[in-house]
Amino acid sequence: MDSELKEEIPVHEEFILCGGVETQVLKCGPWTDLFNDQSVKRPKLLIFIIPDSNAQEIKDIYGLNGQIEHKLAFLRTHVPKDMKLVLIGHSIGSYFTLQMLKRVPELLVIRAFLLFPTIERMSESPNGRIATPLLCWFRYVLYVTGYLLLKPCPEKIKSLLIRRCLQLMNLENEFSPLNVLEPFCLANAAYLGGQEMMEVVKRDDETIKEHLCKLTFYYGTIDPWCPKEYYEDIKKDFPEGDIRLCEKNIPHAFITHFNQEVANMIADSLKDDLSKM
């Protein structure tokens, strides 16, 4: 991106009640309330990022179905129906994205990016073969171990550990991720992970076919969650689709060191869509 095009984009953090649970929302841009803001500054497009996991009450909010309904509840309560959307899903967020398109096909989605998509055969992937027994059979051992080790640990020690890890990975800590070491959060992550291993099995070809013109898949060459074989299979079944294979050896957890490369790829891919608005 050219240096003269770079500008300081405001980022702020909010916590809202969505689906019966407190939800962290990071907003990039000057907007605050899309419903009540009718000024010329109101954006024409919302880019909704659905990461690897995190109104009316939602049953089993921390399970796979509950997480999908949670994202839809946010859109229903905080985004006007006439707002055009770009969905960006990473890892299991790609599965959420396909399910959102399936359940609410009237969403005004102009493009959906599925990055390193775990949308099929998760338990058969190299990482899945290791994670499945841990998350499905020994989950309660993880619960007890995490509780015994982390619950009595002082907040200052947790904060120090996290800051040290971020420094080793050369990451900036703009928003504190202290809650990742809370036993409650770890238990919820393990619970969701177990469901992913058991339920994300068959690729939803019907939904992919219906929305293929607005989907962009981005697979990795060194991804132990969705190996190159999965890319080859979907490319063979949907040869006309925008299905790409990374040529830069970007890992599945790209956010740690390759976030700018992926952001540039998405920005370049969106130029044609945005020029038509």
Q: Which residues are catalytic?
A: 91, 223, 252
Cβ(173)–Cβ(159) below 8 Å: no
Cβ proximity of 58 and 69 under 8 Å: yes
Give one DSSP letter per residue of 40-83, joined into a string: TTS-SEEEEEE-S------TTTTSHHHHHHHHHHHHHHHS-TT-
Count of other CB atoms within 10 angstroms of residue 108: 13
Cα 194 to its chain centre, rounded Å, is 17
Which one-letter amino acid corresponds to residue 17?
Answer: L
Closest of 61, 202, 229, 182 to residue 123, by C-alpha: 202
Extract the runs of DSSP E, i.e. beta strands, from the chain.
Answer: 11-18, 21-28, 45-50, 84-90, 109-115, 215-219, 242-245
Tell me the C-alpha distance between 86 and 120, whole Å.
22
Sorted by sequence, the CB contacts under 8 Å of residue 81 that are 6+ apart come out as 108
218-248 exposure pattern, b = at least 16 Cβ within 10 A, e = fewer: bbbeebebbbeebbeebeeebeebebeebee
The amino acid at residue 145 is T
How many residues can be counted in the chain? 277
